[in-house]
Structure 1
Amino acid sequence: MRHFDFSPLYRSTVGFDRLFNMLDTANADTPSYPPYNIERTGENTYRITMAVAGFSDADLSVEAKEHVLTIKGDKQDDEQNREVLYRGIASRAFERRFQIAEYVRVEGALLENGLLHIDLVRELPETMKPRKIEIGNGSPKQIETKAH
């Protein structure tokens, strides 16, 4: 993958640090474990689905802080009395971070059939929502002035 140098843009912009940091992070090599999907489930709702086979809800943690959603998995070692001849199901610890937009909040998380589902919803404040401006259909009103 190509590497882009954003340093010239740092010299000529103010207040875009977070954007450039996100671009640098997206440009970096990202781990592929565990696999995940991001889907849009409605106009303002999203779902992240992560394959976490072998992990229980006690082994997983989900935290949202300052526009970053962090999902961690740390499997408790229960193989002390077992001899594994072949390991095809990965159970190594992981940490996956997602940048979430402003006004997006985590609504809930559900572990079902080896898949962790995290539901997100975007809630724009009333001042940010589009509003319709009525257009008058008569002649413009004149302002009357009174002479003293």
Structure 2
Amino acid sequence: MQRLVVAAIYVFGIKRGVGAESLCEFFHKLHLETHIGISVSSLRKIQRLLEGEILTYQKGQHERLSQACTDLPKMCVGVGETWLEQTVLVMMALSSGYLLVEEITDSHRYITWQQSIQPVLKQWQGQINTVSMTGQKL
């Protein structure tokens, strides 16, 4: 039961932006309220905990990767933008597919890019050999 609740909150609440009220209604239609606490406030609390755990995991992986990559050869990264519901600036290590930057923004101007990738370039100084955008070297 717990896995079902956590999975539903992750897939629908966090990834798709479905509100706690709708999730609560969904769980009530499955008659899960007799087995587990699925009030709106409980679901919001679980979602906040999951979001915190995801961010903690991301930070830990980033630190682990930073330490592991100090001995690696230089890497080539690509930068790009996606326009789904919002503009997302992305910087990825091309050999591994690891996202170094993934930032939602309202602006995709040069200054926004600089502000987004500068901390990564500073942290990985000497490790990034080439930065390319849509096949062009920057």
Q: TM-score, normalised by structure 1?
A: 0.28
Higher strand share: 1
* Pair member with larger Rg: 1
TM-score of the pair, normalised by structure 2: 0.29
